[in-house]
Structure 1
Amino acid sequence: MPTDSGLRRLVLGTMLAAFPGTTPPDWARELTAEGLAGHTLFGRNVDHPDQIAAATAALREARPDVLVAIDEEGGDVTRLAHATGSPYPGNAALGAVHDLALTRRVYHAIGNELAAVGVNVNLAPTVDVNTADDNPIIGTRAFGADPLRVAAHAGAAVEGLQAAGVAACAKHFPGHGATVADSHLELPTVDVPLSVLRDRDLPPFAAAIAAGAKAIMTAHIRVPALTGEAPATFSRAVLVDLLRGEYGFTGVVLTDALEMKGAADAAGGIGPAAVRALAGGADLLCIGAQVDAELVETVVAEIIAALRDGRLDLSRVEQAAERTAALAAWTRAAAPVRATGTDLGYAAARRAVQVEGILTGLDAPLVVQLFAASTIAEGRVPWGLGPHLGGAEQLRVVAAETDAETLRSRAAGRPIVLVGRHLHRLPGGPELVESLAGSHPVTVVEMGWPSRWRPIGVRAFVTTYGASHANGRAAAELLGLTA
């Protein structure tokens, strides 16, 4: 058994922390110098490109091969553009366009933006197959509901990112797309046999592996046929037998955030979750967003205790640290290819918009945006048509707290453009839309997962396949509402 200091450095080499603010605090830099694998950046760490570059440079002064990760999926999940919304459409829009070269170019462009500010691991692409219309956490983050289409775009996204010298991390293995619960808040269950996973959920991961993905992220979901009562993040049957044995993955297995209830509650805390994840076959532990020095020390102490009392084998932790170090070495040796083009994301978003019905008679409409809460993954990022409207009047309402007559009166004979996200499951949304459309000209703009629901009586149903800044501009332009 190594010395205490040797064990500490070994264990730190399996961990991704996070820090508050736009400048790494002393403790974050000190832990990095001691051997901490790296940090994940969140929206609160991001102000402007020069600031991000300075923050990542400060971490590299502590140790040159530090990993700096971020969730930059484009579309609805963005950290670089959290203040305005992403200039790129997300996966659902790219899947709807179904141009693999475009997906590769968009992810290459995102990778270039990350590399320019010193980020070397992107916790993307999301390659879950969104087979549940009511999925509360994946939705437009998925390339679609067809496994083969998602697989094709998964490979293209990985290739695009890694051509920019940024490691791709395909997520969430073995597939979060069939859930109707959010693993940030509870432990979802996907109760299907392995044969269904192989046909429906796993092809995109196989494609990502074939494309050379450097990392794959685990899902905090329960698959009884494989994991019993535990999440996949703790399961050797999933992470070792299936992912490595059957699918031949040799890169880094990275956990989803261990602070999420799907992991922490299942293990009795973040520290025990870290131990179980390592024992299950994970290599790099994403602690989460709310991290400080005390939490890092608590997790380190828990893992060291597990090594001493036999819950963890030393060889398993050494293997995890070696894989993580190999990933860091790849990021330093990568020879990125730079991309050009400034309007790529907006052009892609325009191609994704689909219209059912007739877009006429929309002079001077009342634009009504229905409030929709953001998921934890998305954060509070602006969305809608508002930033792109010329002189059109916009009203924001809560669907369950307004009524059709109020909106008709406010419109005063003008047509109404009703903008929403996931309208089919928005409380009061379907009823409000159909009541309004029964006696008023209404055009619906769906900026979430469109589902199979179509409201009766509307003049047109416009699907953007996402709510990014680019998606919003594309819809506003199509409707003739931009200045």
Structure 2
Amino acid sequence: MRSIILDVQGDTLSTEEKEYLAHPLVAGVILFTRNFSNLVQLKELVQQIRLHAKQQLIIGVDHEGGRVQRFRDGFTELPACGDLLVKSESIEQAMLLAKASAFVMASELIACDIDLSFAPVLDLNGISDVIKERSFSSDKLEVAQLASCYIDGMRLAGMPSTGKHFPGHGSVKADSHIALPVDNRSSEDIFNNDMQPFKTLINNNQLDAVMPSHVVYSQCDELPCGFSEFWLQKILKQTLGFTGAIISDDISMHGASFVGNHLSRTKAALDAGCDLILACNDPAAALTILDGLQVSNKSNESIITSLLADKSKLSLPLSKNSNWTDSKRLLLEFAERV
């Protein structure tokens, strides 16, 4: 079973990276700003990743818009999702912009042979230091409405969706990249508020994948969600009926550190119910996972396939794609207005 999504360190592949991309545990690669110089270089890097992997694999990136947009030069500047409603004249206008922004984002990435951006963020805009304007709104109904339109835009381009960070990261202040956030609210509060956008979109069959948070919800379980059978098995799969892929958040984040070393974290996340593990920003630790994790005979190729972009949906070149030109014009008009 291929379950590990790794990163690479530069804008070209090292000899070592070329070798471990073909490892039987590698399911994909996540890209960062450090991997980008320009469009030509990015397309070449993606081509080399696919060449040396010698197998089908997912190439992803966090490319939401606003402060979380990894590639800039040659890409449309995308608004933060939280600005769409705040700076629009109506919810209807914000919904159109959400779909347009997602289509532009997805089509520009797919044109570079990148499968997915890990989006949309379904967290409520509460007190979190790391979420803030990445969230569509502080209102659960508005988040579900706008995220639904956003996913429509992604799917129009052929990109799968990833709802994050289940069951909601917006109501804890600490950043799980550098701390272990603990949410002490009641299960009723979490279920009836933060979790509702996930529930709505799962019911609408709009989520291809879900990324759990590295947050401890102390009134529900002592483990962070991404390592919790309670959250992933009982709530996400059984109660909400989710049947898509579960992708861990980066196990190098501090919110995962109490579980042990990177190999222990990977095993714990897989045992809890994660299908794919993000292991980023620590190459040495990632190699310990590849060296220490047993290769299972169980196949998850259908999960990997479900997260590949459907390139047949996107008409290229983008300059002659009316959906892209119309959507980009909407975004430019919005940017000029605000």
What amino acid is the match of 2:62?
D
- Tell me the CA shift for residue 322 of structure 1: 4.0
Matches within 5 A, 1:4-403: 10=1, 13-35=2-24, 36-62=26-52, 63=54, 65-81=56-72, 87-96=77-86, 97=88, 98=91, 99-132=94-127, 135-209=128-202, 210-228=204-222, 230-263=223-256, 265-288=257-280, 290-292=281-283, 294-304=284-294, 318=298, 321-328=300-307, 330-331=308-309, 335-336=313-314, 339-341=323-325, 342-350=328-336
Conserved 8 A contact 1:93-1:349:
no
- Tell me the CA shift for residue 138 of structure 1: 0.4
Q: Deviations over 1:281-323 (max 9, x none)?
A: 10110002x243x43331134432xx8xxxxxx68xx36x345
Q: Deviations over 1:108-135 (max 9, x none)?
A: 1110010011110211111100122xx2
- Tell me the CA shift for residue 226 of structure 1: 2.4
Conserved 8 A contact 2:252-2:282:
no
Q: Deviations over 1:37-80 (max 9, x none)?
A: 11100000011111111111111223352211100001121101
| Moved >4 Å (runs of 4+) | 83-86
What amino acid is the match of 2:313?
A
What amino acid is the match of 1:138?
I
What amino acid is the match of 1:340?
W
Conserved 8 A contact 1:76-1:85:
no
- Tell me the CA shift for residue 350 of structure 1: 4.5
Number of residue pairs matched?
322
- When the two structures are superposed, what TM-score results if normalisation uses the length of structure 1? 0.63
Distance in 2 between the 1:33 and 1:52 partners?
20
- Two-structure CA RMSD over aligned residues (Å): 2.2
What amino acid is the match of 2:330?
L
Q: Deviations over 1:354-376 (max 9, x none)?
A: xxxxxxxxxxxxxxxxxxxxxxx
- Tell me the CA shift for residue 21 of structure 1: 0.8
Distance in 2 between the 1:243 and 1:92 partners?
25
Conserved 8 A contact 2:38-2:74:
no
- Tell me the CA shift for residue 101 of structure 1: 2.2
Distance in 1 between the 2:169 and 2:124 partners?
8
1:388 corresponds to:
none
- Tell me the CA shift for residue 84 of structure 1: 10
In structure 2, the gaps of 5 or more residues are: 316-320
Aligned-residue sequence identity (percent) comes to 26
1:147–1:85 CA distance, 2 compared to 1 (3 A):
same
In structure 1, the gaps of 5 or more residues are: 1-9, 308-313, 352-473, 475-483
Distance in 2 between the 1:31 and 1:101 partners?
42
What amino acid is the match of 1:94?
L
- Tell me the CA shift for residue 334 of structure 1: 5.4
